[in-house]
């Protein structure tokens, strides 16, 4: 899945009035894959990457995330129909 978005954080301008950091106009892009690795237990693995950066400057960051979707009851006793 691929997601993209735009943030307009108008409230942050008043929180730090003397700051030179521009956090108002930001772009967020995210990609993640969620494939099933075992059809009997419906176990899935998650890999993802997110980019968040200012359109007019400001801080930028890249996040990498991962995880598993496990159903403990299916891991102990898999569905015999599959």
Contacts of 55 (CB under 8 A, 6+ apart): 25, 26, 27
Both tokens of 76, joined, read 């102990």
Give the containing element (helix H, strand E) for 15.
helix 12-15
pLDDT at 66: 93
pLDDT at 36: 86
pTM: 0.59
Q: Residue-wise pLDDT tens for the chain (82 aa)? A: 999 998 877 665 566 556 565 667 888 899 999 888 877 777 889 999 999 888 777 778 899 999 988 777 776 766 666 5
pLDDT at 50: 92
Give the count of beta carbons closer than 10 Å to the beta carbon of residue 14. Answer: 7
């Amino acid at each position: 899945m691929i997601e993209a978005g735009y943030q307009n954080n108008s409230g942050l301008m008043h929180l730090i009035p003397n700051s030179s950091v521009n956090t108002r106009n930001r772009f967020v892009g995210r990609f993640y894959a969620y494939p099933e690795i075992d059809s009997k237990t419906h176990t899935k693995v998650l890999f993802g990457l997110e980019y968040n950066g200012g359109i007019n400057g400001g801080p930028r960051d890249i996040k990498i995330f991962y995880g598993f979707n496990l159903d403990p009851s299916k891991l102990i006793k898999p569905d015999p129909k599959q």
